[in-house]
Amino acid sequence: MEALRALGDRIRGDRLGRNLTQQHVAQLAGISLPTYRKLESGEGTIEVRHLARVLAILGHVERLIEVVPPVSLPPDPKALASLLRQRARQKVRTSS
């Protein structure tokens, strides 16, 4: 995903600007060095909690929203209502 790569680039730039090693930030975040490297490269899969920890360490938790794409909802209330989850009904028990 392009957003993850861009976020990883920003994290790398911020880390380098603070003169921190990947190993140091990984240790502070409680994650392995390979996991941290995946985060910076934007490759593979990463857990949101790991990303949140790294962003908190660097003081940028608000950047977490950048990886969530905007959701466009239908403007028509009837169309929106059709998307809402409905509960399944249980069978009514009859006493014998």
pTM, to two decimals: 0.64
Alpha carbon distances (Å) from 35 to 44, 45, 46, 71: 9, 9, 7, 28
Write out the chain's pLDDT in tens, 96 residues. 687 888 899 899 999 999 999 999 999 999 999 999 999 998 878 888 898 899 889 988 777 777 677 777 666 767 656 666 666 666 666 665
Let me know if 44 is exposed, middle or buried by CB neighbors in 10 A (0-12, 13-18, 19+). exposed
Note the pLDDT of residue 3: 77
Note the pLDDT of residue 66: 72
CA pair distance 50, 35, nearest whole angstrom = 9
Can you list the domains of the chain with their CATH numbers? 2-66 (1.10.260.40)
Closest listed residue to residue 74, CA positions, set 64, 84, 65, 85: 84
